[in-house]
Amino acid sequence: MRKIVFIGTLCFIVQISFFCGTHKDHDPSKDQQNDAITQIRNTEMAFEQMAAEEGIAEAFWFFADSGAVIKRQNDTIIRGKENIRQYYSDPVYSRALVTWSPDFTEASENGDMGYTYGKYLWQFKDSSGKVTEYKGVFHTVWKRQKDGSWKYVWD
C-alpha cells in the first residue's frame, strides 16, 4: 500500500512540475517573434523571386512601404515608393539581374518590425552583351503593415 501511495504521489509531483515548468517557460511573445521571423524570411524570398520574374522595378515598388528609403551607389538616397519605382525604371535595370539571400533574420518581440542581412549579386549586361558583376552585403529593415503583410522601410 505504501508503494502505491508513494508512486501516486511521485506521479502527481512529476505532473505538477511538468505543467508548472512548461507554463512558466512558455513565452507568447516568443511565438510572435518567431512567426515574424519566418514571415520576414518568406517575404524576402518572395521579393527576390518577383525581381527575377517580373522585373526589378516592379519588385522594389511592390515590397516597399509608402515611406521606404533606399541607399544606392555614391550615397544616393531615394525616398518613397514611387521614386523607388522611377529609379529602377532606368533602362540599365531592364538588362540587369539581382539575386540575394538572407543569412540572418531577426524580429522585435511583438513581431511588428524586423531586419535581414545577407549577400547580393547584381549582374549588368551592356549593349554588347558583356556582363559586369557587383557583390556585396545587403541590410533590409521590414515593417508589418496593417493588413499583416511585410514591406521594407529601408534597403
Domain boundaries, the chain: 31-154
- The sheet with strand 96-107 has its strands ordered as 76-79, 64-72, 150-154, 131-144, 113-125, 96-107
What local confidence, expressed as pLDDT, does residue 24 receive? 52
**Closest Cα to residue 99, out of 50, 150, 42?**
50
As averages over each run of 10 residues, the pLDDT of the chain (155 residues) reads 45 42 62 97 98 97 98 92 97 94 97 98 92 96 98 98
- pLDDT tens figures, 8-28: 444 444 343 444 444 456 677
pLDDT value for 60? 98
Q: Determine the 3-state secondary structure of 124 from DSSP.
A: strand
Q: How many Cβ atoms from other residues are within 10 Å of residue 57's Cβ? A: 18
Pick from 107, 101, 109, 99: which is nearest to 39 by CA? Answer: 107
| pLDDT of 18 | 42
CA distances from 134 to 49, 71, 73, 137, 143 (A): 19, 15, 11, 10, 27
Residue 29: predicted pLDDT: 66
Gap between the Cα atoms of 38 and 106, Å rounded: 9
> Where would I find the H helices in the chain?
2-25, 28-54, 56-62, 81-88, 91-94
The residue written with cell numbers 524570398 in the block is 45
* pLDDT of the residue at 73: 80
Backbone angles phi, psi at 18, to 5 degrees: -65, -50
Half-sphere exposure of 136 (CA within 13 A, CB side): 10
CATH classification number, 31-154, choose in 3.30.300.30, 3.10.450.50, 3.40.50.300, 3.40.50.620? 3.10.450.50
